[in-house]
Amino acid sequence: MSIRPTLRSILPLPRNFTRTYAAKSSISGGPPALHVPTDSRSDIIRSVLYPQDSYSPTSSSPTGTYHPDHLNRLQSVIPSEEVHETIERAWQLHQRGLRITRQKALQAKFDAMVEACNELEYITNPANGGVESGEKKGGIYHRRVYEIATSETRQAERTAEERNHRGKKSVEQRWKETRIPGLFPREAWVPVESRGKGWGYEWVRPGY
């Protein structure tokens, strides 16, 4: 498929074509290096791209947005109003599908946020025994954290009791008794920005 016949039918061509050459600029004064020679070929190209009889000569569109035979051009592209309405309807259906998909995704995110907020309200509500409650029992979250933190200690004590049936305390039991429940391990070093001292090979765990 050739593009030239299409452009030839769309773009108005000038009537007279003559071979021209660049002429010397007629502007006087100023540095000669800044003078741009005039070329009639530029005028021909400009008259073809920006016709004088266009609807808006200053428009960004080269040939303007208005054509005298625009009705015939539209008729050749869109044979009937039914075709135009079908295209518009298909585009609207496509937009509606995208809108429904986006709304479903947003609704799913909103439902997940509501569920998370309800769960957070449930585990931190003072009415369920939260920190702010009168009993000072701690909420469900705090009780669960405490159970996880003390599960290893209880397991160690239970294992030591099973191993020592005579009632003599084992090393693990003595070490657990020297620790204060709920506090950070005393053998842990304080994090600092400077270089560490290295591994303390002479350190002995309390209780031995």
Residue 203 lies in a domain: no
7-53, pLDDT tens digit by residue? Answer: 455 555 544 555 555 555 555 556 666 666 677 788 888 777 766 65
Same domain, 10 and 68: yes
Residue 58 lies in a domain: yes
pLDDT value, residue 207: 58
Residue 199 lies in a domain: no
Same domain, 56 and 85: no
Label residue 139 exposed, middle or buried (CB < 10 Å: 0-12, 13-18, 19+).
buried
Least confident of 51-60, 86-95, 190-199: 51-60
- When divided into structural domains, the chain yields a total of 2
**Taking the model in full, what pTM does it have?**
0.32
Give the residue from 47, 48, 36 showing the smallest Cα distance to 10. Answer: 48
pLDDT value, residue 147: 75
Least confident of 92-106, 132-146, 164-178: 132-146
Identify whether the C-beta of residue 172 lies closer than 8 Å to the C-beta of residue 157: yes
109-134, pLDDT tens digit by residue? Answer: 999 999 998 888 777 776 665 454 45
Q: Is the pLDDT of residue 58 over 80?
A: no
> Distance between alpha carbon 67 and the CA centroid of its chain, in Å?
44
Residue 138 lies in a domain: no
As given in the structure block, the two tokens for residue 199 are 């591994």
**Mean pLDDT highest for which of 72-81, 108-117, 168-177?**
108-117
Domain that holds residue 88: 81-124
Same domain, 60 and 113: no
Same domain, 49 and 88: no
Q: Is the pLDDT of residue 86 over 60?
A: yes
Residue 205 lies in a domain: no
Greater confidence (108 vs 75) lies with 108
Same domain, 29 and 8: yes
